Amino acid sequence: MLSHLRGRGVESVVFGDIFLEDVRAFREKNLASVGMRGAFPLWGINSQQVADNFVRLGFKALVVCVDTEVLNATFVGREFNEEFLRMLPADVDPCGENGEFHTFVYDGPIFRQSVSFERGRVVLREERFCFCDLLPRR
């Protein structure tokens, strides 16, 4: 997907990572391999505050990965919204910062246009992580 986006002129990717240094380093390394940069505007902000503001400001995200040791696989493929946040168990970080889940942000007030994609199949990988594959829209 990164190579596809780079080929379409995308130069940077914005991530919602908040406090995990190793995750940030991993993302920066992957982006650099295709000549892209990362931006981390939420770095160091409280997770609950980030989640509440994200939804309130009108950003759109899809839950693309769930750690099934922490969350039920039915959480994958859902929109990240108020309902999603209400359904989370109390011990799960509202932004998934401890790896409970991961999202893909595809639209919001700072986007010139929505990122167009299609949902692919939902698969279990490594006997633990349930993914919703994303495909470029044809």
130 and 71 within one domain: yes
92 and 121 within one domain: yes
Helix H, strand E, coil C: the string for the chain is: CHHHHHHCCCCEEECCCCCCHHHHHHHHHHHHCCCCEEECCCCCCCHHHHHHHHHHCCCEEEEEEEECCCCCHHHCCCECCHHHHHHCCCCCCCCCCCCCEEEEEEECCCCCCCCCEEEEEEEEECCCEEEEEEEECC
127 and 110 within one domain: yes
52 and 41 within one domain: no
Position 5 scores a pLDDT of 86
Position 16 scores a pLDDT of 81
97 and 37 within one domain: no
112 and 65 within one domain: yes
Position 49 scores a pLDDT of 96
Position 41 scores a pLDDT of 92
3 and 41 within one domain: yes
74 and 38 within one domain: no
126 and 66 within one domain: yes
| Angle, CA of 24, 72 and 20, to the nearest 5° | 15
Which pTM value belongs to this model? 0.76
117 and 64 within one domain: yes
138 and 118 within one domain: yes
Domain that holds residue 112: 48-138
The span from the first CA to the last CA of the chain, in angstroms, equals: 13
Position 31 scores a pLDDT of 96
pLDDT per residue of the chain (138 residues) written in tens, 0 to 9: 888 988 999 999 999 899 999 999 999 999 999 999 999 999 999 999 999 999 999 999 999 999 999 999 999 999 999 999 999 999 999 999 999 999 999 999 999 999 999 999 999 999 999 999 999 988
Domain count, the chain: 2
Residue 6: what are its φ and ψ, rounded to 5°? -60, -40
114 and 99 within one domain: yes
